[in-house]
Structure 1
Amino acid sequence: MRKAAAKPGRAPVTKRKAATGMYEARRPRKVHAAVRPDEDPDSIDSVLLETARDMLEADLMDRAGYEKITMRHLKSSHAIGEIEAISAEQIRAMRERARMSQGVFAQVLNISPGYVSQLERGLKQPEGATLKLLSMIQRKGIDALL
């Protein structure tokens, strides 16, 4: 294979690399103009929420769309509300109401059956994503995840 002329200070460039542009140096990724590290991200959220509120008032957006946007952009826990702890008895009741075995329930939550067993016996408390999913099941039923 014949090699293309090498640029000074670089390894030789093959025809394939030259044709595909693989020899060119990668450019640094651009940061989106709306997100700057020196700005407070909450101010961006407040502007987006204000715009959405204005669109709702001008009947350019329906109430459901507005609520969907606001929930996406609210970041502070005081605005959304803390998720209350769920007891072992409540977890077992949710699983039994869904008529699922511990194995199937674990698969729906993407956790191990052993962890479901520990939760139901009160040996462990659900945290993070598991707590969030259990809270959603408690509020909306198992169909919300299926």
Structure 2
Amino acid sequence: MKYNDIICQQIHEHISDLYENGLVDKKTMDKFDKSCLAPVKPLTSNEICEIREKEGISQTAFAHRLNVSKNIVAAWERGTRTPKGAALKLLTLVQQKGIDAIA
């Protein structure tokens, strides 16, 4: 997880512990997630292509690692579709730490 700052990280970790022990409800945990975690920024088609090319792998291999179809990766790179949710988080992780981070 990427936090807005160190204070947010510490607060979020404590609240997460309370949530896991049933002392904080889901609604409260969601509020802390939104306020403490850094948002995942959308990626352009060029950025997605650059991420894949930097890793030196084909669209098919990239799709396999992301658990999506090759056609989806091709659509992202053409700009006809936009990654969202888990796919966007995985792409951001690969961008920051490399393909091995999700292997």
Q: Same fold (TM over 0.5)?
A: yes
Partner of 2:63: 106
- For 1:1-146, list aligned pairs within 5 A: 34-35=21-22, 40-41=24-25, 75-146=32-103
Distance 2:77 2:32 in 1: 31
Distance 1:75 1:107 in 2: 33
Give how far 1:40 is off.
4.3
- State the aligned residue count: 82
Cα 1:94–1:77 shift into 2, 3 Å: same
TM-score w.r.t. structure 1 length?
A: 0.50
Of structures 1 and 2, the one scoring higher in RCO (CA 8 A, sep 6+) is: 2
The runs of 5 or more residues in structure 2 that have no matched partner are 1-20
Distance 1:99 1:131 in 2: 19
Q: Segments of 4+ in structure 1 off by > 4 A? A: none
TM-score w.r.t. structure 2 length?
A: 0.70
Give how far 1:77 is off.
1.7
Distance 1:75 1:109 in 2: 28
Distance 2:32 2:68 in 1: 26
Distance 2:78 2:35 in 1: 31
The runs of 5 or more residues in structure 1 that have no matched partner are 1-33, 46-73
Q: Deviations over 1:16-66 (max 9, x none)?
A: xxxxxxxxxxxxxxxxxx53xxx7427x97xxxxxxxxxxxxxxxxxxxxx
Give how far 1:137 is off.
0.6
The residue identity in structure 2 corresponding to 1:122 is G
Q: Hey, which of these two has a bigger chunk of helix by percent?
A: 2
Distance 2:100 2:24 in 1: 38
Q: Deviations over 1:113-142 (max 9, x none)?
A: 000000000001100100000010111111
